[in-house]
Amino acid sequence: MKKFIYLFIYLLYASNVYAQQSINGVWQIISYQVVAYPAIPDTEVKNWVGRKFEFTSEQQAILRYANNTETCSKFNQQLTIQNSEAYFLIGYGVKPQRLGVTVEEVPVVSISCQQASWLSKPRDFVIVNDQEMLSYWDGVIFFFSKQAESSRLRMTSSTIKPLIITPQSVGLLNPNSDCNEQSLRQALHGYDIKARDGYFELYRFNKLMLVVFPNKLTSKVNSIRILDKNIQVPGNAKLGFKYNEIFKDNQLVTCKLENNLNLCSFANMSSIQYVFKQQPSETLIDAKLVEIIWNADQSLITEPPEVDFSIPKIK
């Protein structure tokens, strides 16, 4: 009887884990990272940003852009669990942290279409979390953000999707984005925008959520202060989390002190800074996260990283 109960619990757990690792749903490409000399022209790479895809429980893969729809009517899929560093470093010559992946293992869903379609070759989709996944296409890794569980299910007006933050982007904003009210409104939905003297403040429910600063030379987005609690950020950090809830003992972290605040970053992910405030009686381990700072880094999206040929340690 006990064996039956344990088996039932295991199967229930396994089914829940698999459900969390499914690619089913509506996804949108929000950013990209060039990791090799791409076969895709630069203008075409940028055109993929914003396009939406749906993977259904009937194993259809639907691409929608402008007024066009392309469908793979039936695809095959296989789920594997991969060591993060081995998968990205050996496969694509890039440290996983550069892509915002901080966990040791990642689920990888490999899919292939049974007939000619937009899904012209087998693709791997790396599930970072239930809101984000990555996929390599011809020298480019694209970042996908989940928009809905299904195109047949409407998002209610009260549903606010988490703001996806990667080393390369904040929502649809990246180092190539113009820093003006129109661009911010198109890339970041659901915020009230107020132009200040040389920067922009974004509010929701009359609370300050984001502060966007331009590069004065290029007029592109330069940096963003993030005070919004409804975010999805590497390390699964949330405002109010303690230092030791975000950074683990085996992770390399760099910190510096500025204006009595600790600015910390994961190794190989310097574009995202986690800002901790220490009380007088606290150590850094107990300090709480009060904001996140994202710094635009053009090299993260347009320049292939230098390949590190050292062999990663697989635990």
Q: Are 284 and 278 in contact (CB under 8 A)?
A: yes
Identify the residue with better confidence: 157 or 280: 280
Q: What is the mean pLDDT of the chain?
A: 87
pLDDT in tens, 60-84: 999 988 888 889 999 999 999 999 9
Q: How far out from the chain centre does Cα 179 lie?
A: 21
Q: For residue 42, what are its two tokens? A: 């630069």
CA–CA distances in Å: residue 314 to residues 85, 129, 232: 8, 21, 27
Average of per-residue pLDDT across 109-134: 91
Residue 248 is predicted with a pLDDT of: 83
Average of per-residue pLDDT across 88-99: 93
Average of per-residue pLDDT across 31-57: 90
Residue 21 is predicted with a pLDDT of: 66
pLDDT in tens, 6-28: 433 333 333 344 444 679 999 99
**Separation between Cα atoms, residue 141 and residue 188, nearest integer Å:** 22
Has residue 2 got a pLDDT over 60?
no
Residue 225 is predicted with a pLDDT of: 98
Residue 12 is predicted with a pLDDT of: 37
Residue 160 is predicted with a pLDDT of: 80
Residue where the block lists tokens 């991969």: 82
Residue 59 is predicted with a pLDDT of: 92
pLDDT in tens, 182-199: 999 999 989 999 999 999
Q: What is the pTM of this model?
A: 0.86
What secondary structure, in 3-state letters, does 238-297 show?
Answer: CCCCEHHHHCCCCCCEEEEEECCEEEEEECCCCCEEEEEECCCCCCHHHCEEEEEEEECC
Lowest mean pLDDT among 4-18, 80-94, 296-310: 4-18
Has residue 3 got a pLDDT over 50?
no
Residue 315 is predicted with a pLDDT of: 44
Q: For residue 11, what are its two tokens? A: 């199967």
Average of per-residue pLDDT across 101-113: 95
pLDDT in tens, 211-255: 999 999 999 999 999 999 999 999 999 999 999 999 987 678 999
Please name every residue paired with 124 in a beta bridge, in sequence order, or none if there are none. Answer: 110
Lowest mean pLDDT among 37-46, 86-95, 135-144: 37-46
Longest dimension (CA), the chain: 71
Average of per-residue pLDDT across 149-163: 67
Please name every residue paired with 170 in a beta bridge, in sequence order, or none if there are none. Answer: 165, 173
Q: How confident is the model at residue 128 (pLDDT cuts 50, 70, 90)?
A: very high
Residue 76 is predicted with a pLDDT of: 93
